[in-house]
Structure 1
Amino acid sequence: MLNQVGIATVAKAKHLLILVASAGLKLAKFGGNASRPALLMQFNPANKFACLLARLHLRFVWHCQMLWRYAIGRRDQYLMPDQLSVVYESDNFIVINKEFDLSVNTASRWFNPLALNTQVFLAKHHRADPTAYHWYRFCHQIDHATSGLILLAYSQDAAMRASKAFLNRRVLKQYLAIVWGHFDTRDHVTVDRPIGWDRLDIAGSGDLRKHMVTETHYRCLDPKPAFSQVVPLERGLYNGLPATKVLLLLKHGRTHQLRVHTSCIGHPIVGDVKYSRREADFRCHRMMLHAYRLQARLPRLSETIDCLAEDPFVPESDANWQPESVQNDYAVFKDCARILESGEQLTVDKL
């Protein structure tokens, strides 16, 4: 009887949360585009009153949307707008350790603010650029479900320099992931398979939104070169099933490259319901992919960035992951500073 009363009470509480959140969202969007406050539409960070109004508005809508998603079960954890982890900051750049299941930015910055750019604005509003739609310039992208390091530029010139560094391969990104299955060898696995869009995705299939396939797939459209390396680090169990913690290195930055390449070699990423779709993936609280290290050499700005994020795939942070044996030591792959300082092009084959 008590269990039934408890269940009914939780259901009523969730229903109340949904009503409050939906009312808040309607209030925030009241009036449509034509009547939105001019201080928000013509925002200038130099105007202190406009900046205060913008921050209050974003906090209000953030909590309404987060409350809604938390109440209907779309999020397991309530993410605060001030929950921002800054790993590195200079006059030109800021490196953020992004939370998982959080978009980098959204199409509507004022009325759909559940994104990283909102968190950065609330913490660094004095560095916002009014000429940039999202207030800051993102030098690269990582997926909504992926956590880890992402580089933002404070100015247009810094963003241009970073873009050239990416083109000239002076930026190296290393990822950690937990993949299904065990590897037969301790040696790294090289995956050199071009990636293209799925034709069904181009046709507008909702289930295959942003779905990529390798060039050998019959539905592959416009494949482009993609090179990745997979290095087994630890062998163990995740939720009682065989899994391996791996280090992922990529030479090209195609959409979903690491997710597609690990899947095509028979070791999809744990929790990746798009490319794995195993029953066990739907029981995972997140996709186990993390941007672990970011290194960049920017000679024109006399700046070298070398950031390392905290490893989230340890038993202390995730009790579902139980490592059993070490296959390779990550310390072997740490010595990349020498290449950065020497001025050589930083590529995967230098490791």
Structure 2
Amino acid sequence: MIKSIPITLLGLMLFVQCGKTEVLTEEKVKTTFANPVWDGADPWMTQQGDDYVYCYSANNSIMISRSKYLTRKGVLKRVWQAPASGWNSNCVWAPEIHFIDGHWYVYYAAGSTPGSPFINQRTGVLRSKTADVFSDYEDMGMLYTGDNPEDPESNVWAIDMTVLEHGGKLFAIWSGWKEQRDTDATPQHLYIQEMENPYTLKGTRVLLSSPEESWETGGPLDLNEGPQILKNGDQVFVVYSCRESWLKEYRQGMLQLNDPDGNLLDPANWTKKGPVFEGTPLVHGVGHVSFVKSPDGTEDWIIYHSKKTTEPGWDRNVRMQPFTWNADGTPNFGTPVPAGKEIDRPSGEIEIEKAENE
């Protein structure tokens, strides 16, 4: 005969993990976590209501996770698989997902050929058929990111596209080449262009930033990539990655919009600062960030990847930590927290876990 287990008012809860049943008291709900949170690179996370939506590429496909927790992936779904042939059949890189006018839009880079040299990367767009992030997606095609929209064949290498909504308009910002080349040892720059709609660019691209400062140059390849939007009230920032993604020197620079009511397509309306977030002797090659609020909205968090070792390569994992704001309204990202060091869980996350287990 199996004896019954008394349940106290504090509330004991049962949970099943890996086939084992364990009794867990409320006092055992963890209040901290430690980096890294999971393997991967180019982390993109956004929020919709109470959900965190995480988007990433795996095996030439695009995956979506939806979770109530910032620090944990949730339900997963593959929303798109690269076709067997065509311009976007290989090298699916760094997808981002944005909710615009009732649809989810995924911006991703892909190429027509596998492996190095990576000279055929272009940017494509997917659109959800409903407002549900797990709905089916339709392929809206390749975006033209060159200088002559009337000549689609003149398209130019482009990756890491993000979207800035400002003043009732949409703007695309991405990393690209000045001209198409036959080598991937080509400098990368940041471009900005107004959008006619979430899957069509309007006008022509504008060169927004080039790797010119001492802290964003000095290695084998000068690049600006991974631009991400960060807002603080009416202040607008573009935080981007520079130096080489495969080296420990990978770091973050920042563009600040000088006049929010001015012309976003005027490079003179942006001021470059940096580095604003970089590695330490214990954390290497921090890059490709995104930003979210804590579950209760009281904290700001930076999500980023770092290298697992100091050796050249792209073996990386995903980390996150809170950040603060300086008196002038600019972000203060601090320094990367070393692996294994305990960090308080995002504000409000513990309460969600307790409520789910009542």
TM-score bucket of the superposed structures, by smaller chain = under 0.3
Q: TM-score, normalised by structure 1?
A: 0.24
Which is helix-richer, 1 or 2? 1
More strand per residue: 2
TM-score, length of structure 2 as denominator length: 0.24
